[in-house]
């Protein structure tokens, strides 16, 4: 690390530690070891914070620390498997209290990224943005041919600031895992790395542009849905130019009514779109809040801002379908099985307690009509169980939960009597039929076939290696189980029963052979005047009786 970089890190450490102290969380920074890196740190005690909850203090801390921490807090608010509900509620209130940067800075970035001055690229480009956030701000401009466009420009020097903060957070996570049990149990370093990856993705406008094109392809299959077009000649990693769409936010009910739009129909279209994205396409809008969804004059919907996008792999769609089916069938074991497939259950998790919590969740919704169940509440309940038992759910599943929660909130505000499950049911049936269709089964089998062939091809080599170890006497097998004695007794019983069956079968064959042989030959069975076969039969019978007696005597039959 260069000297300049080390100095920047040290200055930022001091800023972070001071912010912790100022917001009543100084004990956290001390436990994590932040103050160990600093000298002469001034302690503060703000009396107005004494009545505030930990969640409120954390929100104020993140807002004070700026862009990186606000964005990470907003992303973390989509992870109910990582944080308790009271803190999530506060993180959802995080706002980007960042003033817009100047027109001169924006025009300089556009000139650097697009290779020409703003005046040569646009017929009109206003000095004031129509929206400003922590990562960038948006302008309503016109191309040279008069086409109205929205131009998103990234903040100057934000990349370096974010990378510095992410490096410091990774360092703090390592210190916390070394000092604190909870940080170690929740693998805080992995969480920071995951959240940092999501933040870096939002800062790459070319990735957002590609997402926009994917959703535009989706929109072609759906009626009444529009997505802005990307103008690639005017777009880079730091500048994104798209077609400008004017509409009404779904929360502006007065304007929707004044425009003569049917709110119930808007709710149905919005819910159908989200379920189609999730259950059919496996690619869904990660943040469909009202500001990112506009109602057009003809009743169509337009989706905006694709910086946060969720993806469901075929296997994750299957597990999600299993979860839905298990919840519908009131199956506790099915719910736990689906959760275990989707998430990582710690080895030391209390299985009985987990089973009991899921059983309580099942009883809560037992025989409750679907139109009376809140999808958001059931998702919250499920992730509360995951948090309680330290089950790490994939980011795509928690983002899906956040997406469904947001969608339900929007449609409920549009039409309080609207039932999300009425819209979801046809998609669920389609997903179930797709999963059970012979064509899909054959397709899944063909996709797994290379893995099976690789496994079979590895068998000879594995057997050869095992045979070599056996010849050298190096093969060692250890079984560690508190029930190992019971296991051995059961195996002993199985072997005894198997021996009994073999002996009984052998005796039966001998008896049948004697009878058939005597009948066909019509001759005696004497050898040197000794009834050999009869004697053999008696000996076999005696051995059989002795074996049976020995097995019963051992008490392991």
Biggest CA–CA distance in the chain, Å, is 125
Q: How far is the C-alpha of 361 from the C-alpha of 372, rounded, in Å?
A: 15
| Block residue for tokens 């940080």 | 183
| Block residue for tokens 């817009």 | 100
Instruction: Report pLDDT digits (tens) over 307-346.
Output: 888 888 877 877 776 776 676 666 777 777 777 777 667 7
Q: What is the mean pLDDT of residues 149-160?
A: 92
CB 340 within 8 A of CB 323: no
What pLDDT does residue 535 have? 64
Segment among 130-134, 271-275, 277-281, 421-425 with least mean pLDDT: 421-425
What pLDDT does residue 229 have? 95
Can you read off the two tokens belonging to residue 383?
A: 């992730």
What pLDDT does residue 8 have? 62
**Burial zone of 355 (CB within 10 Å; 0-12 exposed, 13-18 middle, 19+ buried):** middle
Q: Is 80 helix (H, G, I), strand (E, B) or coil?
A: coil
Can you read off the two tokens belonging to residue 20?
A: 């912790």
What 3 state SS string does 319-352 have?
Answer: HHHHHHHHHHCCCHHHHHHHHHHHCECCCCCCHH
DSSP 388-456: HTT-B--HHHHHHHHHHHHHHHHHHHH-TT--HHHHHHHHHHHHHHHHH-HHHHHHHHHHHHHHHHHHH
Q: How far is the C-alpha of 159 from the C-alpha of 238, rounded, in Å?
A: 10
What 3 state SS string does 288-311 have?
Answer: CCHHHEEECCCCCEEECCCCCEEE
Residues 6 or more apart whose CB falls under 8 angstroms from that of 458 comprise none
CA angle 26, 31, 36 (to 5 degrees): 85
- The pairing of strands 301-303 and 122-124 is unpaired
Instruction: Report pLDDT digits (tens) over 418-460.
Output: 877 677 667 766 666 666 666 656 666 666 667 656 666 666 7
- pLDDT band, residue 155 (cuts 50/70/90): very high
What pLDDT does residue 127 have? 94
Q: What is the mean pLDDT of residues 202-231?
A: 92
Active site residue 287: yes
- pLDDT band, residue 156 (cuts 50/70/90): very high
- The pairing of strands 293-295 and 301-303 is antiparallel
CB 257 within 8 A of CB 304: no
User: What global pTM score does this model have?
Assistant: 0.66
Instruction: Report pLDDT digits (tens) over 103-112.
Output: 999 999 999 9
Question: 133 in the Ramachandran plot: left (φ > 0), alpha (ψ -120 to 50) or beta?
Answer: beta
Average pLDDT score, the chain: 76
Q: How far is the C-alpha of 551 from the C-alpha of 543, rounded, in Å?
A: 12
Instruction: Report pLDDT digits (tens) over 34-43.
Output: 655 544 445 5
- 513 against 288, higher pLDDT: 288
Segment among 284-298, 414-428, 477-491 with least mean pLDDT: 477-491
Looking at the predicted structure, is the pLDDT value of residue 274 above 70? yes
Give the phi and the psi of residue 285 in degrees, each rounded to 5.
Answer: -70, 125
Can you read off the two tokens belonging to residue 421?
A: 């499950």
Instruction: Report pLDDT digits (tens) over 20-67.
Output: 777 777 666 666 656 555 444 455 555 555 667 778 888 888 888 877
Q: What is the mean pLDDT of residues 353-357?
A: 83
Q: What is the mean pLDDT of residues 204-211?
A: 93
| Catalytic option among 165, 229, 257, 287 | 287
How far out from the chain centre does Cα 188 lie?
16
Q: What is the mean pLDDT of residues 111-128?
A: 95
Q: How far is the C-alpha of 207 from the C-alpha of 238, rounded, in Å?
A: 11
Q: What is the mean pLDDT of residues 184-213?
A: 83
What pLDDT does residue 89 have? 78
Q: How far is the C-alpha of 149 from the C-alpha of 152, rounded, in Å?
A: 10
- pLDDT band, residue 416 (cuts 50/70/90): confident
- pLDDT band, residue 154 (cuts 50/70/90): very high
Segment among 164-168, 205-209, 377-381, 406-410 with least mean pLDDT: 377-381
């Amino acid at each position: 690390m260069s000297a300049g970089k080390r100095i920047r890190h040290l200055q930022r450490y001091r800023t972070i530690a001071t912010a912790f102290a100022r917001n009543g969380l100084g004990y956290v920074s001390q436990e994590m070891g932040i103050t160990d890196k600093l000298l002469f740190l001034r302690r503060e005690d703000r009396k107005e914070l004494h009545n505030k909850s930990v969640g409120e203090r954390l929100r104020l801390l993140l807002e004070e620390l700026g862009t990186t921490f606000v964005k990470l807090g907003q992303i973390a608010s989509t992870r109910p498997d990582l944080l308790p509900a009271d803190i999530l509620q506060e993180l959802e209130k995080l706002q980007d209290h960042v003033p817009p940067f100047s027109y001169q800075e924006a025009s300089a970035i556009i000139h650097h990224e697009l290779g020409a001055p703003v005046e040569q690229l646009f017929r009109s480009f206003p000095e004031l943005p129509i929206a400003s956030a922590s990562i960038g701000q948006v302008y309503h401009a016109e191309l040279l041919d008069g086409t109205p466009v929205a131009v998103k420009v990234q903040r100057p020097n934000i990349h370096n600031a974010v990378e510095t903060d992410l490096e410091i957070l990774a360092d703090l996570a390592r210190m916390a895992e070394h000092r604190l049990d909870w940080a170690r149990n929740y693998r805080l370093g992995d969480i920071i790395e995951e959240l940092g990856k999501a933040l870096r993705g939002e800062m790459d406008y070319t990735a957002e542009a590609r997402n926009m094109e994917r959703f535009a392809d989706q929109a072609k299959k759906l009626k009444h849905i529009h997505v802005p077009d990307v103008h690639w000649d005017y777009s880079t990693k730091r500048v994104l130019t798209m077609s400008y769409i004017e509409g009404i936010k779904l929360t502006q009910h007065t304007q929707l009514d004044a425009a003569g739009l049917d709110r119930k129909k808007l709710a149905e279209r919005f819910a159908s779109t989200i379920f189609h994205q999730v259950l059919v396409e496996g690619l869904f809008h990660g943040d469909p809040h009202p500001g990112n969804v506009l109602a057009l004059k003809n009743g169509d919907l337009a989706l905006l801002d694709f910086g946060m996008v969720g993806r469901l792999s075929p296997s994750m769609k299957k597990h999600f379908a299993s979860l839905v089916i298990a919840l519908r069938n009131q199956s506790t074991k099915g719910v736990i099985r689906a959760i275990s497939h989707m998430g990582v259950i710690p080895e030391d998790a209390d299985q009985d307690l987990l089973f009991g919590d899921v059983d309580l969740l099942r009883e809560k919704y037992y025989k409750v009509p679907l139109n009376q169940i809140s999808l958001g509440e059931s998702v919250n309940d499920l992730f509360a169980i995951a948090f309680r038992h330290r089950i790490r759910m994939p980011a795509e599943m928690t983002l899906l939960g956040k997406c469904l929660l947001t969608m339900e909130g929007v449609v409920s505000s549009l039409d309080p009597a609207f039932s999300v499950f009425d819209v979801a049911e046809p998609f669920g049936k389609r997903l179930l039929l797709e999963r059970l269709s012979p064509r899909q089964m054959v397709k899944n089998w063909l996709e797994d076939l290379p893995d099976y062939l690789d496994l079979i091809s590895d068998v000879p080599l594995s057997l050869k290696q095992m045979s070599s170890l056996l010849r050298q006497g190096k093969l060692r097998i250890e079984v560690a189980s508190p029930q190992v004695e019971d296991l051995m007794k059961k195996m002993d019983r199985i072997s005894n029963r198997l021996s009994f069956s073999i002996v009984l079968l052998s005796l039966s064959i001998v008896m049948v052979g004697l009878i058939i042989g005597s009948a066909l030959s019509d001759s005696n069975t004497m050898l040197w005047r000794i009834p050999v076969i009869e004697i053999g039969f008696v000996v076999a019978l005696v051995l059989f009786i002795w074996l049976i007696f020995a097995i019963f005597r051992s008490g392991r039959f």
